[in-house]
Amino acid sequence: MRDGGKATEGFTLPQVHEAWLPREHSLHRPRHGKRQLVALISAIAFFATPLVAWTFGARPVAFENRELVAFPSLSNGFGFFTKLPQWATDHLVFRQDAVHATDWISETFFGEPVPLDGGHNSGGPVPANPIAPPAPTEPTGPEQVLPPDSSGFVKVVQGRDGWLFFGGDAQSKCQPAQSLDRTIAQVNRLRAIVERSGRRFVLVVAPDKSTVVPERLPGSYPGKDCSRQPNIDFWNRVVAEAGAVDLRPHLAAAAAEVKREVYYRQDTHWTDEGALVMTRRLAEIVQPGTTRTWVTETDRVWKSSGGDLAALMGRKGEMSGVQYRLRPDGMVDRTRSVGTQFTDPLVLRTAQGTGMVSPRVALLMDSFSRSAAPYLGATFANLTLQNYLDFAKSPEAAAATIAGQDVVVVQMVERNLAAGGGTLVMPQFLDRFEQLLPPRR
């Protein structure tokens, strides 16, 4: 440095923190001690509270209608690092309470819900099941067979009077994984394979909630305009060209009879009234006249927290409904609880009698048939249930399941079929299934 205009060789100032310099110095920077202390305490509380809670028994909760992400394996290579953040997020104790708090703040102070991202939903109500490559995943709620690019759409559409709708209903029509022409052709090929083996084939389409209760939708929502005409085309063609069973008029009649909607307000599925509609229609198709002696009566009225759409929004949700007793012969109640995910074939056998469907029936189903299972088991004497996503995983196992059947029923929710139908109707599965399926014995 310079002293009196002369350079002082070999002399340097000692290194000091900028906060120790005189206040008048141009490089002086205060430590902001109080602010730093608050930030430090907040950071310690943020990271330590969940750890302490975990030590005392608190555990993360799976509240988004899917399983918590498992700890990634080192065998994933670089994928270990990309999957680690989601694992850490899922296993953060009190995350559910934080989501609920965020939603409450947004609704209370801003008058609107927490915005739900429109990006690809890998968890969602069910894990996304892209058409190609065929890699079906086990559903845990409303099935979704959609292309990878889902930008611009939302997971949940908030309708009128607290009604919620699955955003995939519109997305499946706006962004199908393949054309409706190709989907119908593949469904008809599946039908032909089954019928050439000497068995009957029945396709039952469970309508989307947005199709049955459109008056509860909001005035505007992502996908409204681009899904309108495809929705009309879908129902016109899938009934006329693919021979699908159209449940819409029967669901409307059931709603008029019970004087309430037959879909849940905060869940994407139909109520037990809807499940009974499908059970009755299917029985009449397989064995006409069977339902003449049927008697249904209220078993119990229930109410609980829940709803897959509410869960997607981080809410607990509320659900209520009616369970019924079904007496096929008009006297004996044959309904029973059937609690399973149907990942493997489940065979239900019931004694033959008046009002019972006698042919051997395999029902390839999704989550819409879960609520119908107690009624189907009460009225079908020989019934095999399996989720069609798991059924299509192995053509060999699929052929073995169908080998002992007289009738093959495929029940698929509207949005899945509109999006492309998934692995069950893909050429790779159909080619092998056709080779393996034996003639009816």
Q: Where do the domains of the chain lie?
A: 178-263+272-294+335-436
**What would the mean pLDDT of 139-149 be, rounded to a whole number?**
47
Q: What percent of the chain has pLDDT over 70?
A: 74
Collapsed DSSP state (helix, strand, coil) of residue 99: helix
- pLDDT band at 138; cut points 50, 70, 90: very low
For the chain, give the mean pLDDT.
Answer: 83
Q: Which residues are within 8 A (CB) of 128 and not within 5 positions of it... i.e. 6 or more apart?
A: 120, 121, 122, 137, 144, 145, 146, 148
- Comparing 101 with 236, the larger pLDDT belongs to 236
**What would the mean pLDDT of 198-225 be, rounded to a whole number?**
96
Q: Which residues are within 8 A (CB) of 140 and not within 5 positions of it... i.e. 6 or more apart?
A: 65, 66, 67, 125, 126, 127
Q: What percent of the chain has pLDDT over 90?
A: 61
CA distances from 81 to 16, 44, 67, 123, 414 (A): 39, 24, 20, 18, 37
Max distance between CA atoms of the chain, in angstroms, equals 117
203, containing H or E segment: strand 200-206
| Closest by Cα among 109, 40, 63, 66 to 310 | 63
Q: Using the predicted structure, report yes or no on whether residue 148 has a pLDDT greater than 80.
A: no
* Model confidence, pTM: 0.71
- pLDDT band at 132; cut points 50, 70, 90: very low
Peptide bond into 115 cis (omega under 30): no
The whole-angstrom separation of Cα 178 and Cα 230 is: 13
| Closest by Cα among 366, 274, 371, 379 to 335 | 379
Q: Using the predicted structure, report yes or no on whether residue 2 has a pLDDT greater than 60.
A: no
| Token duo for residue 266 | 């905060």
pLDDT at 171: 94
Q: Using the predicted structure, report yes or no on whether residue 122 has a pLDDT greater than 50.
A: no
pLDDT at 198: 97
- Comparing 71 with 97, the larger pLDDT belongs to 71
pLDDT in tens, 322-348: 999 999 999 999 998 887 789 999 999
pLDDT at 15: 73
| Token duo for residue 256 | 């008029």
pLDDT in tens, 266-315: 999 999 999 999 999 999 999 999 999 999 999 999 999 999 999 988 88
pLDDT at 230: 97
